[in-house]
Amino acid sequence: MSATKNTVVYRVIIGLLLLTIVGLVLKFVVLGRTGTEVDGRVTILLDPSERVVVLNEMRQFLVGIQQMLEAAERKDAAAIVKITRPLGMAAAHAVPPGLAAKLPLEFKTLGHSVHNDFDRIAMDAEAMNDVQLSLRQLGQTMNKCVACHATYQIALPPGPRQ
């Protein structure tokens, strides 16, 4: 084979590899594993154990929000710091990589934004001791929760249940 033919073959192979990589990134990083529900929401299809991880995280947010509201009623900024800090980005790192690959990019972006919000609420509550600011920040964060629940649904894939 001549050098020119070798170059063409190498370029074709490299091109095919690049297309494969782009396709895999699109599938596993951007799109995730989804479908569409009758109500227009995007259904994120997860195995039972993965679904439990996502729903547990959402319940932790809900419990934390309820506890924050009680702390705000007592005007206890220190409690708000203690409640919100574990809900920040530290919690986001507990998601298994295989699960993260199944989640659409917009869902992951929104989730990270909520975790960042809790970090910011904790830092500001600690620095400023202003419960009203914490409540305003929580209201902004809750808008993201509402948007997420209006956009997505977590479901099991079709087929036999375990």
Between the two ends of the chain, the Cα-to-Cα distance in Å is 55
Confirm if 121 and 84 have CB atoms less than 8 A apart.
Answer: yes
Q: What is the pLDDT along the chain (162 residues), one digit of tens a residue?
A: 577 777 877 777 776 676 666 656 555 554 555 656 568 899 999 999 999 999 999 999 999 999 999 999 999 999 999 999 999 998 888 788 889 889 999 999 999 999 999 999 999 999 999 999 999 999 999 999 999 999 999 999 887 655
CA distances from 116 to 28, 33, 84, 101, 144 (A): 23, 24, 10, 20, 12
Out of 1.20.120, 1.10.8, 3.30.300, 1.10.287, select the CATH number for domain 33-155: 1.20.120
pTM for this predicted structure:
0.76
In a 10 Å sphere around its CB, with 0-12 CB exposed, 13-18 middle and 19+ buried, how is residue 140 labelled? exposed
What sign does the CA torsion over 148, 94, 24, 18 have?
Answer: positive
| Side-chain-facing half-sphere of 14: CA atoms under 13 Å | 6
% helix, strand, coil for the chain, step of 5: 75, 5, 20
